[in-house]
Chains A and B, each alone.
Chain A
Amino acid sequence: MDDNHDLDSCQRLAMCMSHFAGRLSVISALAIAVLCLWSSGAGATVGAGVQAAPVVLAHPAHPGQQNVSFPRVYVVNTGTQTSRYRLRVERLSTGNQMPVPAGWVSFGDEGFLLAPHQAITVTVSLSLPKDAKAGKYMTDVVASTAPLAGGGASEGAAAATKLEFTLSPLSSGFDPLWLVFIAIALVIAVAGVVVLQKRRRTVGPGLRGASPTSPQVTHRQLSRQGVGR
């Protein structure tokens, strides 16, 4: 494995040398060679970082909701070599919140390359089954380096931050705006009843004074007043 590592370092050195040799003096090229050796030698590190602040859904989600967006999650390569990263959810933190099944959470990009100190923000979305239980949920977003092949011990780095959301028992199709519409409809209905009652009171005495034979008075109105009984 050390052989492979040394070969890799030598290849990088050769690339560095060929890139600069045609343009710079021998002394400069040697200085660059030293720098190349220093940057690609045994001091190489693999690293991973994610935002320390939890990824939190601002509003409660509802069972059956699909593709609910979390704020984007920040991932950074804290190592000195380019690495491939994978994102996943796995409960690592302790707490009373319910665990989140991995299938509920998806990422805009689950695997990507990052150069040293390069960062990326990735979209996170939540899709819930209709029978999901209401309550508070928590899991961790884990960004880990992909393992290197080649024999021997391969060291990996990963970083995890919490992902939290609340699931309210309302059905997915219910919009709180409906409460406003229902209230307005009730007010209109009550107002309508009141107006109708007032009209009846206004019309009532005239009917009582009308002749039973008057053509304007219907049989039904007469019946209401007990005329002819």
Chain B
Amino acid sequence: MQEGTSTTPITRSAGRARRKWALVGPLAVAALSYSAAPALAATSGTNTATLSVAPPPVVSITVSPTTSTFGNCISNGGSTTALVIPGGICSVGIPNGPTISQGVTVTLGNEQAQVDVSGAEAVPSDGGTPWALGSPGNNTFAEGNFTPDGSVGILPSQSCDLALYNTATGALPDNTICGTAPANSSVDEQLDLFAPTSSTDTSSTWTITTTWTAVSA
């Protein structure tokens, strides 16, 4: 019992010493590592590299010119200098053999796509009553696009541009099935405007917007 009591303190102190070293040892290593770290950092450098990432494949379209004038007007079989209401027709572009001259050039980008065309109401310069797009009527005009290979009536909603499709794909003029046009297709189109039967607004200048949309295939 005495032996036991005498040996116990020695064992405890030895355990404490071991624990102490167990604590001090890692701390010393940590301290050394910390002090060594700046030295290591001093030998390292920074490299800034610039990386250019290619843009994603894009379905796109371009239209030119951005604005044009309806001309080449006719009424009752004769040419006129401006749109005659009712019954008058004016155009952007004129047929020139197998193509259209001075028309609107529509060009697809590097991806194939269906090209839709849509129109909007005609807006008078005085901000008065517009003309709706539809069949000619009171305050309602009609619009169509044309190539020697096809034509289509333009609506307020999107519809496949058959004139562009037939020309771009070499389809026959009587083809009525419209779809995807090849990449980089470029077609000159004629726009035709058919006068309303009557107009409330008497402005002499009107704006007619036509939009071509490339729809990803």
Contact present for B207 and A159 (CB under 8 Å):
no
B199-211 Cβ-contact flags toward A at 8 Å (1 or 0): 0000001111111
Interface size on A, residues (CB 8 A): 46
Contact of B60 among A4, A76, A140, A155 (CB under 8 A): A76
A153 to B65, CA, bound (A): 10
Chain B residue nearest to A145 (CB atoms) is B211
Contact present for A52 and B111 (CB under 8 Å):
yes
A215 to B123, CA, bound (A): 103
A74 contacts chain B at the CB level, 8 A cutoff: yes
Contact of B68 among A51, A153, A162 (CB under 8 A): A153
Which stretch of B36-44, B50-58, B134-142 is in the interface? Answer: B50-58
Chain A residue nearest to B93 (CB atoms) is A153
Most buried by A among B62, B92, B116: B62
Which stretch of A31-39, A41-49, A103-111, A183-191 is in the interface? Answer: A41-49
Chain A residues, Cβ within 8 Å of B60: 47-50, 76, 78, 159
Contact present for A156 and B67 (CB under 8 Å):
no
Contact of A156 among B56, B191, B211 (CB under 8 A): B211
Chain B residues, Cβ within 8 Å of A76: 55, 58, 60
B215 contacts chain A at the CB level, 8 A cutoff: yes
Chain B residue nearest to A1 (CB atoms) is B69
User: A100 → chain B, closest Cβ, in Å?
Assistant: 16
B178-217 Cβ-contact flags toward A at 8 Å (1 or 0): 0000000000000100000000000001111111111110
User: A159 → chain B, closest Cβ, in Å?
Assistant: 5
A5 to B65, CA, bound (A): 10
A74 to B191, CA, bound (A): 31
User: A204 → chain B, closest Cβ, in Å?
Assistant: 45
Contact present for B66 and A155 (CB under 8 Å):
yes
- Given the contacts A74-B56, A92-B215, A157-B61, A45 and B66 also touching, CB distance less than 8 Å: yes
Show the binding face of B for A, using Cβ within 8 Å.
55-70, 92, 104, 107, 109, 111, 113, 116, 120, 123, 125, 158, 191, 205-216
What 10 A-B pairs come out closest when comparing CB atoms? A49-B60, A156-B211, A47-B62, A158-B213, A151-B205, A147-B209, A45-B64, A49-B58, A78-B60, A45-B62
